[in-house]
Structures are given as structure tokens and as C-alpha cells.
A and B are shown apart, each in its own frame.
Chain A
């Protein structure tokens, strides 16, 4: 039984989707440079690593090359590897990086496979052996074995625990474990073309970078001392406007051509007692729009005394009245990233509420490169009025925080009285 449909196989075999070692290696190298320059966890010391010129090829169960694994070494020590795509349909040129040595050994796996054949298939001859990804990310050795009568079969053995893997295609969406399936077959048809476009776009940019930035030539960099190499990487990678490791937007209103690095355009107003958070958060938003009110005045606009908290329902009418109805305030019970991103990109601060507490939000940051199979890192730039009379400004992990609601404040576009 085949692991891939015939039509799909014909499409994925197209030479247009094949990737050369050279392109894959350049992408792997650029990826390492970016991770080192951005101080990604796990990449400490990787400015001293080199990657092999030729990759280890990992095949798909369809028989097509799937990944090129470039081993990274420091001195004589293997410190990890960079996994790149061997087929453009996969999309991103770099699939991932392992920053620890592999937990298995090729020679040991080969020996175990020979023992397995001797035990289970006596008098069979062993032919070609290949590394295959049988159930991403699990790897197996695939060996062609030939019976004394000339019958050819394929044996699959996991390289980690040396168990024989069934040659029947499994159902990975329904079961976990050693379920063999073709990763290439699992790519939806509409994704094949998109993947090719993504791969070609990123690869073009990487090629341009290596053509234009001679400082990043691996041969040139390898001649520098590690500390100088690191300094060059940090300088060159962050110079590139084409590649941002993360996109960051923080509110500014006085420097329209760039970001205000010597001061904060958005002012922190700490709350004046233990219940004033919604007044302080409003004070910050209104101050940005050049409305100056005390927290006591804002409490009055909310219709509450100074010594009690603020009902959520009081915030919208309070904000609108303090702007003399020149602004529309909106309460959003559904909190999503796009609301924050849109408001900040339009230079509008928000009031971000967690259960029981209100803060102002004046910026967003999200990563463009991150570890696969993990949530995309996203952070909010929070101006927290707590602790009282001090306040705090911090980048808050959006993925791990529970939010209650958000308030936006937008200037009315029509004339008003």
C-alpha cells in the first residue's frame, strides 16, 4: 500500500520544487546568524559553530527527499543541527533547529538494523539504507531487504528505540505514537503552490543578503575571533530592514519619521490609591490625547466615590463625557490580538483589563521567527498603574495572560457639538 497518492507524487516530484544543497545551506547559515544575533535561548555560543557542507538527507515515506539536516559542530563536538526543507511545498526554508546533540547514533542504528534482519529475516540480504521521517519528527532507518528468491521488501526501524515500524499507512490525526504517514502527502493541495511561493520569496531575500552584505560571508566570518564574529552578526543582522526578528510598535506622536528612543511619548500615571486603576488607566489614555484630568475628576465622571472600584459598565460613558463626546469609546469583551495591533498601528492607546484590574496598552510586539509547533510569541507593552504611586511598564506575554476586556478610544470623524 502506498503512502502517497499517485497524482500528488507526480506534482511533488516536479523539478520546480526541488531544492539544491547550496540554497538549503545558505538558508541554514542565515538562520543561525539571525538566532545568534537575536540572542534566542539555546543559541549561546553558536557564533562559534560551523555547519557541514553536505547535509544528511531525510526522506519522506513517499520516497522523495523531505529534509536536509545540516549538522552543526563546535571543534569536534556535534552541538545540534539545522533542519531545512528539501521540497519547496513545505514553505519555510528552515523547518527548525535542534540546539542539543541528536539523541541517537547512526552507526548504532545500522548495527541494530542488521541484527533485526538476521533475527526476523534470516538469509535476507540488506541493500540500500536510508534515513526516513516516518511520523514527524520521528526518524527511522529504511532498508531494502532481498529474500533468497529475489523478493524485495522494505524494513523500517526507529533509530531511537530500534523497534520495527509497520509499513501500513497510519492515521496520524486519530492516533498518537509510531503512526507511519507521509508528511508530503499530508500537505493540502492548495498549500503546495503557496509553499513554493513562500520558499522562493524567502530564498530570494537570503540570496540578496549574502550578495550585498559581504560581512556575512561565512568564510570571512570564520577568520574572526568569536567575540568579533558575534559583534559583526549583531550589527549586520539588525541593520537589515528586510528581516525583522520581531515587529514592534510603540506609541509615539512627536517623531513621525522614526521611533522615539530617548523618551516615552506615552506617560505612566500610577494610581493614587488601591482602587484607582481604571481612573489611572483612563488618565493615561486621555493624557495622550491631551486631555488633563485628575483621578478624582475621572472617578466623578465614572459616577463612583474615590474609595471604591469602578464598574466595567461605567468606563465607556465616563471616557466619552471627559472628551466632551469628541471620542467614541468601545468596550470589547472578546479580546484578540488583531484589536491591539490595529489600534496601536493607528496610534491609539487602549485600556487592557485583566479580571479585577485595568491598565493602559501602548505597544505590541510579535515574533516573525519562532520555534515550530509552539504559539507565536506576542507581547503587549503595558503601562500598569500598580503599584500605587509607582506604576510599572512591561512587556506582557499575550499568549499566557487571561484578559477580561478591552476599551478602545477613537476620535469621531464627523463634526460634533
Chain B
């Protein structure tokens, strides 16, 4: 597993690619700055990959996805907005904000809600904050919050249908 320093180096080398290859408005691409990498886990709580966010002011603009061994998986932008206000706010990747939102959304219907962790729900691109909780009748639940959307399902029950 590559250390954080190595991940940061790889992400920094890709800043020019992010500026030039995903058609960001030039006013935004000039002001990109890298944030510390976030470790994204899978639903079994195992480390899966590093997500390195790129911001402009307080907006989440781009990202680089790097495997644990340092392989480049993907690099790109969030959304297709032309103005900074079209991009999601940085609070979407804040664990403190995620905990607040989870509590707001789920505390009435569920209990024993754990602190949220950044995971991918199935495929690597489906990032979401995950908390585990219990329904009122004791069933173990997976509680998800991602970019303003909430959903939940009983633990261990995957969706029957193929594409989500």
C-alpha cells in the first residue's frame, strides 16, 4: 500500500490534466487546489482506494481516484456546471457534516447510529457516507447519505435488480 505522501505526489502530477482535459471553465480551473486524500472503504470496512478532492474556493470541483498501490483509476470533475455555484459544496465530503445530516435524516426512524464513514456502495464510483444503525424492531440497517440524497436498506440484503 502506497503511503499518503506518494498518493499526494501522484495527484499533484495530475493537476494539469484536470485543468485541461475535463473542460472546466477556465476561471475555475486556474484556482484549483488539492485537499488531503480521503481513504474510501468498501462495505466490509476494508480500504478500497484513495479519493483526492480538488477544490476551488469552497466548492468541490474535481477528483482523482487512486488505487491503494498507486495506480490511477480515474480523474475528473463533479457535475457539468459552468459557474462555481453549480458545483457541490465542500461540506459533502466533511465527516462532521455527514454526521449532522445522518442524524437529521435517520434519528427518528433508527437508533444506535454509528459515526459515518466514507465508502463506495458497490462499484467504486458510488461514493456515499455510511452509518450502521438498527430499526425500531432490531433489524440491522445500512444508512447512506450522499450529496443530499438519503437511502437505507437492511444489512446483508443487496438489491435484486442489476443496475442502480
Contacts and interface: CB of A to CB of B under 8 A. Distances in A.
B16 interface: yes
Given A267-B80, A384-B125, A390-B79, A39 B16 contact: yes
Interface stretch (A74-82, A136-144, A220-228, A352-360): A352-360
A266 B71 CA distance: 28
Interface string B62-77: 0101010001111111
Contacts of B17: 395
Contacts of A355: 122-123
B146 interface: yes
Interface in B94-150: 121-128, 144, 146-149
A392 interface: yes
A393 B77 contact: yes
A388 interface: yes
Contacts, number: 133
A275 interface: yes
Contacts of B78: 387, 390-392
Contacts of B157: none
Contact of B76 (A308, A354, A392): A392
B79 A354 contact: no
Contacts of B124: 354
A389 interface: yes
Nearest to A359: B125
Contacts of B65: 394
Main secondary structure, interface of A, reads: loop
A166 interface: no
Given A274-B144, A394-B63, A388 B72 contact: no
A270 interface: yes
Given A268-B79, A304-B161, A311-B161, A357 B71 contact: no
Contact of B163 (A39, A358, A388, A397): A358
Contact of A273 (B151, B159, B161): B151
A283 interface: no
B74 A275 contact: no
Considering residues B74, B77, B121, which has the most beta carbons from chain A within 10 angstroms of its beta carbon? Answer: B74
A400 B71 contact: yes
Contacts of A267: 80
A198 B161 CA distance: 50
A397 B74 contact: yes
12 contacts: A263-B23, A274-B149, A309-B159, A310-B161, A387-B146, A387-B149, A392-B76, A392-B79, A393-B80, A394-B22, A394-B76, A394-B77
The 10 closest A-B pairs by CB, nearest first: A394-B76, A309-B161, A387-B147, A356-B122, A388-B149, A268-B80, A278-B163, A357-B123, A309-B164, A274-B151
Given A308-B160, A309-B164, A394-B65, 17 more contacts: A264-B80, A274-B151, A274-B164, A275-B159, A277-B163, A277-B164, A309-B159, A309-B162, A310-B162, A311-B163, A356-B163, A382-B74, A386-B126, A387-B146, A390-B78, A393-B79, A395-B17
